Structure 1
Amino acid sequence: MNRKPIIILVVLVVALFAIGVWLYSKYEHNVPVMLRASKSSAVVVEVVKVKQAIFPDHINTVGVLHAIQQTTISSEIAGRIQKIAFQPGTLVNKTQLLFQLDDRIYQSNLESAQAALDLSKGTYDRLMQLAKGQVSEVQIDQAKSTYFQDQAKVDVNKAYLAETAITAPFTGFIGYNKVDVGSQIEPGEALADLVDRSQLQVWYQLPESYLSRLTVNESVSVRAPVNGQEKNFNGHLTFISPNSDADTHAVSLRAIIANPDDALAPGLFVHVTQTLGAAQHALVVPEEAIVSTLSGNQVFVLNGDKVSAQTVIVGSAVNGWVPVISGLKIGDRVVTAGQDQLKEGDVVQVATAQ
């Protein structure tokens, strides 16, 4: 029997085994950290220490624009629309005619009331010219009462007649007419919307921890897309809510924003930059350390070789760093990488510490 092939095969196996042992002994200490860590239950993370830094004297948030003056045009009286005197979507001036009601009935009522007034006034004047004793005080009082009642009826009918011309209460943009010529309307019925856009109000909120740094008339700017480009609009803070929301721990604010080119409109979402008091020192962490949850923001804090989830209140990020309003102290070590694999109490292995 030829044993030569068997001998060759054994030699090859021994040689391959020897090479494997040599390679393992050579590269054993260069196995990546994460590969070695996978053999244990520890999660490999990166951490940084919470530090103190001088933070800018402003904070960014988002808000919604609202009109300062906005109303629904309606009529004080019933009537039939005779004329619509505007083009929907255009600028109308204060006192400009918007709707004209059919005034024939009101004009007739005024003329009738005026005729009654002329008669009662004449009667009253004649009685007053008669010599004392020729007419009783009762007759004079009755004539006077009738005269005054007729005068009041004339005034009321003049007011009704004036209401047939429905005008703009202020300068603004008029919306689409909700009625047409010939429509019969009732008092208070909505006819059109009127909005003043020369100045707008932005409604927004900030964390309650900033309350002490907010003052009325402080500068505010909003940024919004205009013709495909971001544009800034300046204004000032006009209202600070006296109460903080118990659920969100935020304070409601309002500011007036100039809109000279009529580029903005109520309802738009805008980016708001609120100027605060002087710049202050603040605790900061990298933006990537913040984990957003349904109950708020949190970070994972390293204690020994375990982590704990800590709820934090933070401000707006600037250049990758986030100011921590509450929840951390200087020197705390927070996880900046690997937290997507963590839960409360997990054992971790630090790959990089800063």
Structure 2
Amino acid sequence: MLLMLLGCLLLFGGIFAFKYIGLVMMNRAFDSMPLPPATVTSFTAEVQVWQETLTAVGTLRAVNGVEVTTEAQGIVSAIHFKSGQSVEKGALLAELAAEPEIAQLQVLEAELRLARRNHQRVKALHARGVTTEADLDATRSELEQVLANLEVQRATIDKRQITAPFSGVLGIRRIDLGQNVNPGEAVVSLQQLDPIYVDFFLPERHLAKVALDLPITLGTDAFPGKKFHGRITAIDPSVDAASRNFLLQGTLKNPQHRLRPGMFADVAVQIDARRKVLVVPRTALMFAPYGTAVFILRKSDTGDSIIARKRFVKTGEERGDLVEVVQGLRAGEVVASSGLLKLRNEGAVIIENENRPPADADPKPENS
């Protein structure tokens, strides 16, 4: 039995030892097996001169924008507009029922005629010395009182007519025929859309860099890739004590009414200063939680192949397809601009630039 157990131990031990040695040799063979070269595109890091730009988040605001309301209380008797309609200043939008006021106006007009006749009669008698100066003053005062009451009544009737305070585009109607409206109740929104304002904040350290009439560029999520251009037209004289930011206002032309009040906007202020920057394409950067890196392409020590060497860099401003490299790269060094997922440190590469990714600070897509 002892001999049989010893024989089994030697047999199975030999089998396991053979399997283990084969696995170790196979792993060593795979580790030493050279990987095929990865095909990448390249870009030579270059220095460009960029006009300094200050970026901010802004909010669009109408030059004039109000909720049209009524000053009087009453029943809506007529509506003279449609939702979304463009109107001119003074256009009649709606009317409230004014039958009692109109009747009272007719009463005052009759009193005016009577007061004028009385005044003319007393005036003629006074010229012949029949009446006193006091009688003439009394009729004149009565006439002036009727005239004043008449103006008040006309103003009351005018308040029952709702008009546009300025030219613009109407919103959605908020009243209906026969509705009883109260003073201050919203009738419709009215917005003047051309031109349009954009309000945005900048940190106080940029206060000396900005000035009136500087050009601004605006982008919105509603129109991706579309840029709108305007100029700074106002700078708030004070700096907010809580945020240490100051408010600016830009004005943009908006003839097609694409920009609407309340929209979110990315604002870029182009100041006069220029600076030199070292740039690489955005596609050349590998972003990771522990840092941003590029792959430098250079000849191997033997000089018979090109290898990729990973290097961490510090990036700065981004413009279009390009990214500023602040630290970790020198001008003239060649980096991989595509195929980064196929690369490993010290791995061989083949450069093929036939379909190189675009690298433009101000890209203009064909469908923009």
Q: TM-score, normalised by structure 2?
A: 0.63
CA distance in 2 between counterparts of 1:107 and 1:10 reads 117
Within the alignment, does 1:236 sit opposite 2:242 as a pair?
A: no
For the structure 1 residues 288 and 321, does the alpha-carbon distance in structure 2 shift closer, same or farther, using more than 3 Å as the test? farther
Per-residue CA distance 1:186-226 (angstroms, 9 max, x = gap): 33322211111122111111222111110011111211245
CA distance in 2 between counterparts of 1:258 and 1:219 reads 13
Q: Percent identity?
A: 26
Out of 187, 192, 201, the position equivalent to 2:197 is 201
Match of 2:157 in 1: 161
CA distance in 1 between counterparts of 2:183 and 2:221 reads 41
- Answer whether contact 2:84 2:170 (CA < 8 A) is retained: yes
CA distance in 2 between counterparts of 1:322 and 1:119 reads 90
Match of 2:112 in 1: 117
Instruction: List structure 1 runs of 4+ shifted beyond 6 angstroms.
Output: 1-12, 286-289
CA deviation after TM superposition for structure 1 residue 79, in Å: 2.5
For the structure 1 residues 189 and 5, does the alpha-carbon distance in structure 2 shift closer, same or farther, using more than 3 Å as the test? closer
For the structure 1 residues 11 and 160, does the alpha-carbon distance in structure 2 shift closer, same or farther, using more than 3 Å as the test? closer
For the structure 1 residues 273 and 135, does the alpha-carbon distance in structure 2 shift closer, same or farther, using more than 3 Å as the test? same
Letter in 2 for 1:158: R
CA deviation after TM superposition for structure 1 residue 267, in Å: 1.3
Within the alignment, does 1:69 sit opposite 2:56 as a pair?
A: no
Q: TM-score, normalised by structure 1?
A: 0.65
CA distance in 1 between counterparts of 2:194 and 2:69 reads 23
Match of 1:191 in 2: 187
For the structure 1 residues 5 and 99, does the alpha-carbon distance in structure 2 shift closer, same or farther, using more than 3 Å as the test? closer
CA distance in 2 between counterparts of 1:213 and 1:288 reads 34
Out of 163, 173, 178, the position equivalent to 2:174 is 178
Per-residue CA distance 1:68-99 (angstroms, 9 max, x = gap): 10112122333321011111122222222210
CA deviation after TM superposition for structure 1 residue 322, in Å: 8.2
Match of 1:19 in 2: none
Question: 5+ unaligned residues in a row in structure 1: which ranges?
Answer: 13-52, 292-313, 324-329, 332-354
Letter in 1 for 2:73: A
Out of 240, 252, 256, the position equivalent to 2:251 is 256
- Answer whether contact 1:60 1:316 (CA < 8 A) is retained: no
Q: How many residues align?
A: 282
Match of 2:324 in 1: 321
CA distance in 1 between counterparts of 2:132 and 2:59 reads 72
CA deviation after TM superposition for structure 1 residue 260, in Å: 0.8
Out of 211, 214, 239, the position equivalent to 1:215 is 211
Question: 5+ unaligned residues in a row in structure 2: which ranges?
Answer: 16-47, 290-314, 329-368
